[in-house]
Structures are given as C-alpha cells and as structure tokens.
C-alpha cells in the first residue's frame, strides 16, 4: 500500500497494489525525479488493485487505466477539474466504483463504458456503484446496442445528490440487491422496468420531489424493505403486493401524494413494520387483519384520513408498537389487549385522551403528544391508572394540561419507571411550585424529567 500526498515523490514502485493520491494539486508533480511518463506507467501497473485519486486537480485519467487488469476498487471524489468520466467498462475485475463531488460532469455516455465501440459485457465484475453529489449531471445513458450487457453482477447501486438528473436507467440490473436514490430533485422517472429483479431486497427512494411514478415492483419477490420518503408528487405505487406477501417486512411511505395504499398490501403476511407519514391525500386504511406479523404501526399526519380498519387491528396479536395521529373526532377505535407501545398525537378539537385506551393493560410505553386545544381537560383521566403494566409515560405539547391524576390513581401505577414532560407549560409550572402536591406521589419513579 502506498499513500502519496502533495509534494511526495514516487519512483521504482513497480509492484504497487494499493495507491492513494491524496489532495495532489498537480498529480504529475509527485513524480519529481521521474519524467512525466512515469505517471502513465503507474496507471498501467497490472498489479494495482486499489486506486484513489480523490481531491486531486487531475483533468482526466490516462487511457492506460484500461490496462489495470487487476484493479478492484476505484474512488474518484471531488476531482473538480475532471469534466469527463474515464472509460472503465472493460476493466475485468473492477468490483467497487465510487464517484463523488465531480461537479462539472454533465453526462454519462458511451465513453464511460467502451472506447472502441465493440459490443460485449461491460463492467463484468462490478458489484457496487455509487454516484453522489454530482451537481451538473443531467443525463445518464447506457449502451443499448445488440450484444451489449451492462452491469451483469451489480448488487448495490446508490445515486445521491444528483439534483439535475432527470432519469435513471434500470434496464438489465436484475442482480441488484440494494438500490438507493436520494436527493435527486429533478428526477422524473426510472427508465425501464423491475422485471426479473428477483434479487432486490432493499429499495429506498428519498427526496425526489418531482418523481410522479415508479415502475411496478410486484416482480421483486425478494423485496424486504421499501422506503419512499419526501416524494411529494408521487401519486401511486403500481403493482400487486400480493407477490411480495412472503418477503416484505418493512414498508414506509412518507410525505407523498398517494390517495391509496398499494394494491395487495393487506396480503403481506410477512410485514412487520408499517409507517404511513404525512400522506395528506390518503383517505382509507383498510383490511389490515391479515398482517399477522405486524409488530409496529405508525400513522401520522394523514389529514384526510377518515377510515381505519380498527376491527382488523384488534385481531393482530403480534402488534407491539402502535402510533396513531388522531385528527378527526369521527374516528372510533378498539385496541388490541396485547399492545405494549402506543403513541397518540392529538388534534386541537379533541377534549380528552381517548377513553378506549384504558383497556390496554399490557401497555408498557405510552406517548401523549400534541393535544393543544383550549378545551382539552386540565388533568389526565383517572382511568390511566388502569394501565397496570405501564413503565414509561411521556407527555408533550399539551398546553392546557395542568395536573396529573389524583394521588390514589398515581399510586396504582406501581411499575412506572420514567415520566417525562415536555412543552407542557402549565404542568411544568405546577411541578416546580408544588412541593406537597400530586407530584410527590411520583417519588418512586426512577427518572422524572421536565422540559420547556
């Protein structure tokens, strides 16, 4: 392994396996006592397996880089003077390619794959490809000639911070296992289909505000986790999720324009976590009773939601964590007696904590937050003491709340370990003032916190 910093010199390095060129302002200047051809010689070393030319002022990698037959890892980061990516598609053993911060590259074209125009297998061994923070990148093309096969072994693809990129080609990437797209603000679509993507396990799309649709994922029969966040124009997730019923374990949809959950989601018997956040067009959440593996359910900020399958939820004995944002007085619910974790987020018009919660005798953690209405009751309900298993109670942003329960009710919460109060100004003020009042009944609580 050889690390080369600015001002260093290289000579006689005929058997380099690992080379870092670190912040070299003028790459050729590191070969002080050697003629400039030495640079090309190093790039033609057949022994080289790892090459990092990050933070250099290099304008282009020499064509002789195609002679690095044993190169397995190449890192190009913040090479700001490089306006074109090198030809790398014919490197037979390249497994990891990370390109980041090359802010002048506008297009990934054919020159990235081949230099002689010959068809064949391109990037034949590449397993991991990262393109990140390439602010000028607008277009990404893939050779489509007869006989071309691109990225046949690619398992991990990460595209991040490419704000101007309008499309991402996915044709032929059937070996993908992990696919991440993040912070591509101009992205409109994925070019191609997820056909034969039977190895894909993780799909995460985040912060793509202009993305309106994605291809059907019903053929991604190994998909374990699907996260789509902050894609404010995404109106649907096509495909029949019944094809994912034995694979999908975690599904998160956050800040999207969906009017309905994906078809067949209710059949995913393997689903363990369901997160639905800020889907402001969503109206119904139905047919949840078949989600027999569901352990965590979070519903938050769905302001048009008028119907939730509470009856189905009651049948889910596996459900251990449950957070619901209550936004309409017309919602009525019955809860699972086996529930151990519940977070409720209030609404200005609600006047009290929903009385149905008193039957949750297995509940260990309860979060009460956001009951801001002027008519909200001044004290927590006496029935809260029925939660005989409760260990953690957190109360936040309940501005009208002044008191906890009566001393008799408090004493019944014998298992309570931690109580925290946050942004409840009246309640916190009473806590500070009263030395012999109801708060003294909590002297057995291990931890008690108040925050403004």
CA distances from 362 to 187, 387, 409 (A): 46, 7, 17
Spatial separation of the C-alpha atoms in residues 52 and 75, rounded to whole Å: 5
* Residue whose pair of structure tokens reads 């009773």 in the numeric block: 289
Q: What is the pLDDT of residue 349?
A: 61
HEC string of 328-363 equals: CCCCCCCCCCCCCEEEEECCCCCCCCCHHHHHCCCC
Question: In the CATH scheme, what is the code of domain 155-308?
Answer: 3.80.10.10
- What phi and psi values does residue 442 have, to the nearest 5 degrees? -95, 20
List all residues 6 or more positions away from 269 whose beta carbon is below 8 Å from its beta carbon.
245, 246, 290, 291, 292, 293
In the CATH scheme, what architecture does the domain 320-452 have? Alpha-Beta Horseshoe (3.80)
Q: Which residues pair with 202 in a beta bridge?
A: 178, 225
Contact of 321 with 301, CB cutoff 8 Å: no
For the question of whether the overall pTM of this predicted structure is more than 0.95, the answer is no
Q: What 3-state DSSP class applies to 310?
A: helix
List all residues 6 or more positions away from 253 whose beta carbon is below 8 Å from its beta carbon.
228, 229, 237, 261, 275, 276, 277, 279
- What phi and psi values does residue 236 have, to the nearest 5 degrees? -160, 155
Q: What 3-state DSSP class applies to 104?
A: coil
Strand 202-206 and strand 2-5: the pairing is: unpaired
- Domain 155-308 identical in fold to domain 320-452: yes
* Domain ranges across the chain: 1-120, 155-308, 320-452
Identify the CA nearest to 388 among candidates 355, 356, 366. 366
Residue 396, Ramachandran bin (φ over 0: left; ψ between -120 and 50: alpha; else beta):
beta
Chunked in runs of 10, what are the mean pLDDT values of the chain (452 residues)? Answer: 49 60 50 42 69 84 84 92 88 96 92 77 96 95 80 97 96 95 96 94 97 94 97 94 96 94 94 91 85 86 75 68 52 57 71 78 86 81 89 88 78 86 84 54 51 48
Q: What is the pLDDT of residue 192?
A: 92
Q: What is the pLDDT of residue 437?
A: 46
Spatial separation of the C-alpha atoms in residues 381 and 376, rounded to whole Å: 11
Count the residues in the chain: 452
CA distances from 115 to 65, 85, 90, 177, 392 (A): 12, 12, 9, 29, 64
CA distances from 337 to 92, 106, 308, 345, 396 (A): 59, 57, 18, 20, 25
Q: What is the pLDDT of residue 305?
A: 78
Q: What is the pLDDT of residue 42?
A: 55
> Is residue 59 exposed (0-12), middle (13-18) or buried (19+ Cβ within 10 Å)?
exposed
């Amino acid at each position: 392994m050889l690390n080369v910093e600015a001002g260093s010199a290289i000579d006689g390095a005929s058997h380099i396996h690992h080379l870092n060129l670190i912040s070299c302002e003028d790459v050729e200047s590191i070969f002080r006592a050697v003629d400039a051809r030495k640079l090309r010689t190093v790039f033609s070393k057949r022994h080289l397996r790892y090459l990092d030319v990050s933070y250099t002022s290099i304008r282009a990698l020499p064509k002789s880089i195609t002679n690095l037959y044993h190169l397995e890892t190449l890192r190009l980061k913040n090479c700001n003077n490089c306006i074109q990516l090198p030809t790398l598609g014919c490197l037979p053993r390249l497994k990891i390619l990370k390109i980041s911060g090359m802010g002048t590259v506008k297009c990934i074209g054919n020159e990235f794959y081949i230099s002689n125009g010959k068809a064949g297998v391109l990037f034949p061994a590449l397993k991991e490809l990262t393109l990140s923070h390439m602010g000028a990148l607008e277009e990404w093309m893939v050779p489509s000639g007869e006989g071309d096969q691109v990225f046949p072994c690619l398992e991990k693809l990460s595209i991040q911070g490419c704000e101007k990129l309008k499309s991402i080609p996915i044709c032929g990437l059937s070996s993908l296992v992990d696919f991440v797209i993040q912070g591509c603000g101009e992205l409109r679509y994925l070019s191609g289909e997820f056909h034969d993507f039977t190895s894909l396990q993780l799909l995460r799309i985040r912060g793509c505000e202009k993305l309106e649709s994605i291809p059907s994922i019903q053929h991604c029969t190994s998909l374990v986790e699907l996260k789509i966040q902050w894609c404010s124009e995404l109106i649907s997730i096509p495909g029949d999720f019944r094809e994912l019923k034995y694979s999908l374990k975690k599904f998160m949809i956050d800040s999207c324009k969906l009017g309905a959950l994906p078809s067949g989601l209710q059949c995913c018997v393997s689903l363990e976590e369901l997160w639905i956040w800020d889907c402001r067009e969503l109206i119904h959440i139905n047919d949840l009773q078949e989600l027999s593996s569901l352990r965590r359910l979070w519903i938050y900020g769905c302001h048009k939601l008028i119907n939730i399958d509470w009856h189905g939820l009651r049948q889910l004995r596996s459900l251990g964590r449950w957070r619901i944002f209550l936004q309409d007085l017309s919602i009525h619910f019955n809860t699972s007696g086996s529930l151990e974790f519940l977070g409720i987020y209030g609404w200005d018009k609600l006047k009290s904590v929903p009385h149905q919660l008193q039957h949750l005798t297995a509940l260990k953690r309860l979060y009460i937050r956001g009951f801001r209405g002027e008519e909200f009751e001044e004290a927590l309900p006496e029935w809260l003491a029925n939660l005989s298993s409760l260990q953690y109670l957190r109360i936040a942003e309940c501005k009208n709340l002044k008191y906890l329960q009566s001393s008799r009710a408090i004493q019944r919460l014998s298992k309570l370990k931690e109580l925290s109060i946050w942004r409840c100004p009246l309640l916190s003020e009473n806590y500070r003032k009263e030395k012999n009042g109801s708060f003294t009944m909590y002297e057995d609580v291990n931890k008690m916190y108040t925050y403004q």
